[in-house]
A and B are shown apart, each in its own frame.
Chain A
Amino acid sequence: SQTIHQWPATLVQPVGSPLSLECTVEGTSNPNLYWYRQAAGRGLQLLFYSVGIGQISSEVPQNLSASRPQDRQFILSSKKLLLSDSGFYLCASNSDPSSDTGELFFGEGSRLTVL
């Protein structure tokens, strides 16, 4: 089965500082990869998804960006953080790339606090 690693688990950053959250996937090849943000009272918001190396789709315009330099690596970045970027960021991968059933495996998340 798949395992998704996210780091760092917790991060406290000042406004205006850069951000890099990393996600790696084990146990599968050519997965679809996703970044979700979970903010208080707002549920899960899809930020980016990727169907392959270098292919990124953005769901919500914002000051965040994503990159996929390798098949099983997905990075979420920002050049200058805003207070509103605070939240719990979850990386996810689909369970069966060949059939795309909609089932996702999630990492344990990265909690970002912007002060």
Chain B
Amino acid sequence: GNSVTQMEGPVTLSEEAFLTINCTYTATGYPSLFWYVQYPGEGLQLLLKATKADDKGSNKGFEATYRKETTSFHLEKGSVQVSDSAVYFCALMNSGYSTLTFGKGTMLLVSP
């Protein structure tokens, strides 16, 4: 079956530090990959996505590259801000299916 594994948090960084949140997946075929973000007390929002190998998704300074050879979709940002503090979820969806499989989420805490 499908599964998504994320690094455990919390990840604690100072403002302007470099961020990496690791995500690896197990799936049959060629899934689409997503990063969602959940700000405190809110629902989830789509942050970025990639639909095929070597695609790079990007948004708000965040990037992630679909690596088929390592089955990974690591999230990166060059310089984090306090406002980036949130829980980040990696997710996948296989083509032809209607449901997303999420990782457990990684909390990011950025201090001034």
Which chain B residue lies CB-closest to A104? Answer: B100
Give the docked Cα–Cα distance between A4 and B42 (Å).
12
Contact B43 A106 (CB under 8 A): yes
CB distance from A25 to the nearest CB of B (A): 13
A94 partner residues in chain B, CB cutoff 8 A: 98
Q: Is the Cβ of B104 less than 8 Å from the Cβ of A41? A: yes
Number of interface residues of B (CB under 8 A): 22
Total A residues in contact with B, Cβ cutoff 8 Å: 25
Q: A104-B44, A107-B43 are in contact. Are A59 and B99 (CB under 8 A)?
A: yes
Question: B-side binding surface: helix, strand, loop or mixed?
Answer: strand
Cβ–Cβ < 8 Å partners of B104 in chain A: 41-44
User: In whole Å, how far is B89's beta carbon from the nearest beta carbon of chain A?
Assistant: 6
In contact, A108 and B100 (Cβ under 8 angstroms): no
Q: Once the chains are docked, how many angstroms separate the CA of A92 from the CA of B46? A: 12
Q: Among A44, A59, A92, find the residue whose CB has the most chain B CB atoms closer than 10 A.
A: A44
Contact call B34/A44, Cβ cutoff below 8 A: no
